[in-house]
Amino acid sequence: MEANATINNNQVDTTKKSKTKKVVLFGLGTLALGTLAFFGFKHFTKTKNNNNDEIDQTTDDVDNKTSIQTPVNPKPHTSLPSPGIGDTFPLRLRAKGDKVRLLQQALIRTYGAGILKNHGADGDLGTETQSALRSKGYGVPLSEADYNKIIGKKEETQTPPPPLVTFDPVAIAKALYTTIVAKDFSTTLTLLKAIKSTTDYSLVSEQLKNNYRIDTVRKTLVNAALTAFTESSQKAKIQEAFKNMGLKYDGTKWSLSGWY
C-alpha cells in the first residue's frame, strides 16, 4: 500500500512539474513573441520614417532643381490676336459683330433665306456663312472690297481738291500796271488773254483804276492799254482780246465793263 502511495505521489509530482514546465515554456514563448513584435514594430516605424525623410528630401531636391530662373532682361511677350475676334477686315472665320450681321443680311436679301437656313443672320461668321460666301465666289478671309460689293456699298471716291485759283484780279491788275508802264506789249497781251469774262474785266479794271496811276492819271483797263500801245497792229490785237472777254465796241466806245 505504501509502495502504491509512493508511486501515485511520484506521478502527481511528475504531472505538476510537467504542467509547470508547460506554463513556463508558454510564458517564455509569449514573451518572446511579444518582444519580437515590439522590436518589429519599432523597425517598421523607423523604416517608414526614413522613407518619408527620403521622399521629403527628394521633393526638396526636385523643387530646387526645377526652380524657375527669371531672365535678367526678359523680352515682352507679344501675343497675336486671336482670329475671329471682332469684325475688322479682312473678316475671318469666327469673326463676330455688326459687320458680319450686315453681311449675312445682304446674303439673305440677295440669295434668299435658304443660303443661311440653319443660323440666319446671327452675327457669327461660322462655317455656314463661309460655305455661302464660297458658293458665290468669295473667299474667307473676306476683303473689305468684296464685303462692300456684297452689301451694296459704293466705294467712296476721293473728293478732288478744289481747283487752284488761277484768276487773281489784284495780282493781274498789278502785273498789267507794271507791263503797261514798261511798254511790254507781249506780256500785257498775255495778261489780257487771262481775263475770260466781262465780270473778270470789271474786277481787274477796278483794281487798276483805284490803286494805280498811269501817266499820273487813273485809267480804266481799256483806256490804259489802248493809249499805251499806239501801233495799229498792237491796237488790233488788244481790241481782239477785249472782244474775247465779251466787251462790245461800237466804233467809238467800249461798253459793258468800261469806256474808252
* Domains (range + CATH), the chain: 98-151 (no CATH), 169-255 (1.10.220)
Peptide bond into 169 cis (omega under 30): no
Q: Give, for 25, the enclosing helix (H) or strand (E).
A: helix 2-65
d(CA 210, CA 54): 112
Contact at 8 Å (CB) between 195 and 238?
Answer: no
Q: What is the pLDDT of residue 178?
A: 94
d(CA 221, CA 226): 8
Q: How far does the chain reach from its first CA to its final CA, in angstroms?
A: 198
d(CA 106, CA 116): 11
Q: What is the 3-state secondary structure (H, E, C) of 118-163?
A: CCCCCCECCHHHHHHHHHCCCCCCECHHHHHHHHCCCCCCCCCCCC
- Between 10 and 234, name the one with better pLDDT: 234
d(CA 232, CA 122): 84
Q: What is the pLDDT of residue 182?
A: 93
Each residue's pLDDT tens digit, 156-206: 555 665 555 567 889 999 999 999 999 999 999 999 998 988 899 999 999
d(CA 172, CA 165): 12
Q: What is the pLDDT of residue 58?
A: 43
- Between 190 and 32, name the one with better pLDDT: 190
| pLDDT over threshold 80, residue 13 | no
pLDDT, averaged across the chain: 76
- Between 144 and 62, name the one with better pLDDT: 144
Average pLDDT of span 79-86: 52
Nearest to 202 by CA among 220, 185, 214: 220
- Between 227 and 36, name the one with better pLDDT: 227
Q: CB burial class (10 A; 0-12, 13-18, 19+) of residue 107?
A: buried
Least confident span in 25-34, 82-91, 234-243? 25-34
Q: What is the pLDDT of residue 159?
A: 62
Average pLDDT of span 75-82: 46
Contact at 8 Å (CB) between 215 and 181?
Answer: no
d(CA 230, CA 9): 189
Q: What are the DSSP E strand ranges found in the chain?
A: 248-249, 254-255
Q: What is the pLDDT of residue 229?
A: 94
Residue 180's φ and ψ, nearest 5 degrees, are -65, -45
- The number of beta carbons lying within 10 Å of the beta carbon of residue 94 is 15
pTM reported for the whole predicted model = 0.38
